[in-house]
A = this chain, B = another copy of it.
Amino acid sequence: MKAISIGLLGLGTVGSGVVQIIKKHQDKLMHQVGCPVVIKKVLVKDLNKERAVEIEEEQLTTNPDDILLDKEIDVVIEVMGGIDATKDYLITALRYGKHVVTANKDLMALHGTELLTVASEYGCDLFYEASVAGGIPILRSLVDGLASDRITQLMGIVNGTTNYILTKMSNEGRSYDEVLKEAQELGFAEADPTADVEGLDAARKMTILATLGFSMHIDLEDVKVSGISNVTEEDIRYGKQLGYTMKLIGHAHREGEKVEVSVAPTFLPNNHPLASVQNEYNAVYVYGEAVGETMFYGPGAGSLPTATAVVSDLVNVIKNLRLGVNGKSAVTPQYPKRLKDDSEKYSKYFLRIHVEDEVGVFAEITSIFAKNGVSFEKILQLPVKKNEVSEIVLVTHRTSISNYEQSLQELNDLSAVREIKSAYKVVR
């Protein structure tokens, strides 16, 4: 019985996890795929580095061609990260008839459709479950489980770092800076946390999810992104008083044939299924026309969850290999992209405004909103602050982003308005 040969690009924490799982579950894998699974070569940067996992010296190489051009290698697993060079490697692998499993969200967000098209041309599988929320089989569920439904909403907590920070700020009433520093010390946040806290990492994952969920090629630039670095503990506290929990939400929404995708700090009602997702956990909430609400919850990262997703994909590749049906399940987008313009995007908004403590100011403010067709669901009365500043917290009814932004602009021009302290989307 011929063994399946794997080439592994990268031997960091995820790569080591993959090696470990393949070793540990060799019997179970045999049972599932009907043949042995062997890691033939591993691309590394440094042959002499100490490894967290047992691996033979002759399995290591620093030359990618030892994997990409080796006719005996059936499947390439990419866990090295990076974009341009990595993309070239994978295209070479696919052209040489190798199936590819990748955990690379940056690459898939930027070049997913192109890579899937190449895979499909060469009759190869290209699976990427591990690229979004490693511990949650969400991509497969979107393709298979909800196949006969029409998905209208995807809402995700898809970045563990920001969810950890917001959870701590919310539960412990601490400041963003303080919690970020702690998260960095504990290894939940990078030394340079920009990609996480500014929402870029979440935007990449939402690009992948929306492309798959709506079967429409969404570009990273189509995602409107804002991060959590300006969220204050005061905002979170006011939200609590109104029954809301603050989360960094990736939101992909389809109405009719048009879609919008955004990532933004968002207030959710406390009883929303996503509101109770705590710490570094991820969750993806899916609304399908027939099935209604479903949610998938699990670890978003971590070497073993991600490696598990990689090996699950590998099992599917090998099953397809033995059945001779690879490349049939590559899902390239089916519909042309149609994005909403701002007048078609609706949301509720939370606003916190500092105004002069004068008679008639409140009426001035509400008349601006009224003129733009924006009405209120909730208004929080607050005691006057020092310096004769009054604080007003408002939650609007659903309104278009154009009307909302027009109102904000007119508010800014009002002499009685000192500052719009914060503004967030509110869901449901």
The reply on A293 being an interface residue by CB < 8 A is yes
Which B residues lie within 8 Å of A363 (CB)? none
The reply on A28 being an interface residue by CB < 8 A is yes
Once bound together, how far apart are the Cα atoms of A122 and B32, in whole Å?
20
The reply on A29 being an interface residue by CB < 8 A is yes
Contact check, A291 vs B295: say whether CB atoms are below 8 A apart.
Answer: no
Once bound together, how far apart are the Cα atoms of A302 and B28, in whole Å?
36
Contact with B along A268-293 (1 / 0, CB 8 A): 00010101111001000000101111
Which B residues lie within 8 Å of A325 (CB)? 323, 325
Contact check, B144 vs A316: say whether CB atoms are below 8 A apart.
Answer: yes
Contact check, A21 vs B296: say whether CB atoms are below 8 A apart.
Answer: no
Within 8 A of B (CB), among A312-332: 312, 314-316, 319, 323, 325, 328
The reply on A294 being an interface residue by CB < 8 A is yes
Once bound together, how far apart are the Cα atoms of A185 and B361, in whole Å?
51
Contact check, B299 vs A297: say whether CB atoms are below 8 A apart.
Answer: no
Once bound together, how far apart are the Cα atoms of A150 and B311, in whole Å?
13
Name the residue among A28, A148, A277, A314 with the largest chain B CB count within 10 angstroms: A148
Contact partner of A31 (CB less than 8 A), chosen from B273, B288, B298, B334, is B334
Given A21-B148, A31-B334, A141-B141, are A294 and B291 neighbors across the interface (CB < 8 Å)? no
Copies of this protein in the assembly total: 2
The reply on A147 being an interface residue by CB < 8 A is yes
Within 8 A of B (CB), among A364-402: none
Within 8 A of B (CB), among A130-175: 135-137, 140-141, 144-150
Which B residues lie within 8 Å of A148 (CB)? 21, 25, 28-29, 308, 311-312, 314-315
Interface size on A, residues (CB 8 A): 54
Once bound together, how far apart are the Cα atoms of A309 and B147, in whole Å?
9
Contact check, B292 vs A298: say whether CB atoms are below 8 A apart.
Answer: yes
Given A148-B21, A308-B148, A334-B31, are A298 and B295 neighbors across the interface (CB < 8 Å)? yes
Once bound together, how far apart are the Cα atoms of A291 and B147, in whole Å?
25
The reply on A203 being an interface residue by CB < 8 A is no
What residue in chain B is nearest A134 (Cβ atoms)?
B291
The reply on A199 being an interface residue by CB < 8 A is no
Contact with B along A92-128 (1 / 0, CB 8 A): 0000000000000000000000000000000000000
The reply on A265 being an interface residue by CB < 8 A is no
The reply on A250 being an interface residue by CB < 8 A is no
Contact check, B273 vs A290: say whether CB atoms are below 8 A apart.
Answer: no
Contact partner of A290 (CB less than 8 A), chosen from B137, B145, B307, B328, is B307
A interface residues with partner B (beta carbon < 8 Å): 17, 21, 25, 28-29, 31-32, 129, 135-137, 140-141, 144-150, 271, 273, 275-278, 281, 288, 290-299, 302, 304-305, 307-309, 311-312, 314-316, 319, 323, 325, 328, 334
Q: 14 more A-B contacts (CB under 8 A) besides A137-B144, A141-B145?
A: A28-B148, A140-B144, A141-B141, A145-B312, A148-B308, A148-B314, A149-B308, A271-B276, A273-B297, A291-B299, A292-B302, A293-B298, A296-B297, A323-B325
